[in-house]
Structure formats: structure tokens, C-alpha cells
Amino acid sequence: MDSVFRFLVGGLFVSAFAVFGTVLKPKSFAGLFGAAPSVALATLALTVATDGKSYAAIEARSMLAGAAAFFVYAWCAMVLLYRYKPSAKISTSLLLFLWLAVALTLWFFFFRMAA
Amino acid sequence: MYVKLNLAALSETKPHEYAIRFLFGGLVTVITGIIAKRFGPTVGGLFLAFPAIFPATATLVAAHQRAKKYRAGIDGTARGRDAAALEARGASLGAIGLLAFAAIVWIFLPAHPAAAVLLAAAAAWLAVSVSLWRLRQILR
């Protein structure tokens, strides 16, 4: 039941931000909404309700590494698409592995080693 | 360059394209919760900034641009990929805004009302992202 509720809340938040990205022009501005904190808002609101504020704050601290990895991901996607013009679907999907690698590396050095 | 509202774009988006975003958003939120439960909040938190719907968004942007050029009798494959690159450039600035969002939640959430902190963090994301976008326009 908890998962169904999470699914609905997450879907609604992501869809709401995606609508902004759809109706705004120019594309570079609309692209800002591609990195909107939609999943974060949904998850943190639910986490505060179920596990408390301190638990959610720890998640937010790790989110710093995820956000830095998102920057690297989006930057690489931009360079790749401009210069080499690969398929948008394949290149942006494969680059998710880069996001994972960067996020886990940052997490390991800044949060796990510090713990 | 000014920011404009193009409500007609809503009707250009097909129902299944809205459904895909809803599905990905819902799935990532569920998976993030499962990862946090299994591996703890320090690992789960990473996935709060997972670019879950970006591949779907970039694919849709490229497809729409390609279709637009095709209707004009031009092969728009390259233009579609340029449009996806522009989307990625915007997302890279939005990701810097995400850093501000996360920092505000991390610092202020333990001692302040959750709703106020989340709203302030979302406002900070918007302010930082838009400011960086504007700065780039000026410096270009």
C-alpha cells in the first residue's frame, strides 16, 4: 500500500514539473525542468512523514553527490549530442551508468569514508 | 532571449507521453524508497537526484523536433538531436540548482518545519537555475 501511494505521489510530482518543461520556451530554459527536484520533493515529503526529519536530512546530504553526478551526466549528454549527434534515446539512457559511477564515487569519498 | 509560454505544446504531447513520465516518476520514487530501506538513507539519498525522466524527455524533444522538420519536408534527425542537446544544457544548469535544493534541506530540515524547508528549497532550486540560465544568456 505504501508503494502504491509513493508511486502515485512520485508520478504526480514528476508529471507536474514535466508540464512546465513542455510549455516553456526556449528549449534551453525548459531544460531546467529536466533537473527539477520532483522525485526529491515527493520522496522527502513522504520520508519526513514516515521516518522523521533527521532521516530525511541524511538523504538530502547524499543527494548533494547525486546532484553533482546529474550535472556531469547532463553536461556529457549535451557535448555528445552536439558534437556526435547519436540517438538521443540511446545516448541519454547509456549515460545513466555514468551518473551511477560518478554518484557512487562521490558518495564513497565524501560520505562513506567520512563515516 | 525572453521566456515564453507555449500552451499549444500541451496538445502536441500525446497521452502516452504523459503516461511514460508519470510511470517513470512513480517507479523512481518507489525504487528510491526501497533502496533507502535496504541500504540506508545515505545510499538512498543519492537517487533523489537520479535523472529518471531525462532520457524520456530528451527522446520526446528530439522526436517532436524531427516530426516538425519532416512535416516541412526536411530530414530533421540532426535538428532533433540538437534540440535534445539544448534540453541537456538546461538540465545541467538545473542540476546546479539541485545542489542548492539538497544543501538547504540538509542544513535546515532537522530544526525547522518540513513544509517550509521543502518550499524554500524548491524556491532556491528555481532561483539558482533561472539565475544561471540568465547569466549564460548575458555572457553569451
Spatial separation of the C-alpha atoms in residues B32 and B54, rounded to whole Å: 16
Q: Per DSSP, what are the bridge partners of residue B4?
A: A25
Do A68 and B99 make contact, defined as CB atoms within 8 angstroms? yes
Do A60 and B22 make contact, defined as CB atoms within 8 angstroms? no
CB neighbourhood size of B19 (10 A): 12
- Give the pLDDT score at A115: 55
Span A32-61, average pLDDT:
94
Chain A partners within 8 Å of B26 (Cβ): 6-8, 10-11, 14
pLDDT in tens, chain B (140 residues): 688 888 887 887 788 888 988 998 899 899 988 999 999 999 999 999 999 889 988 988 888 888 887 777 777 788 888 899 999 999 999 999 999 999 999 999 999 999 999 999 999 999 999 999 999 999 98
Spatial separation of the C-alpha atoms in residues B62 and B79, rounded to whole Å: 8
Q: What is the pTM of this model?
A: 0.92
Region of poorest pLDDT, from A75-79, A101-105, B5-9, B100-104: B5-9
* A67 residue type, one letter: A
Enter the C-alpha cell of residue A75. 553536461
- Give the pLDDT score at A1: 66
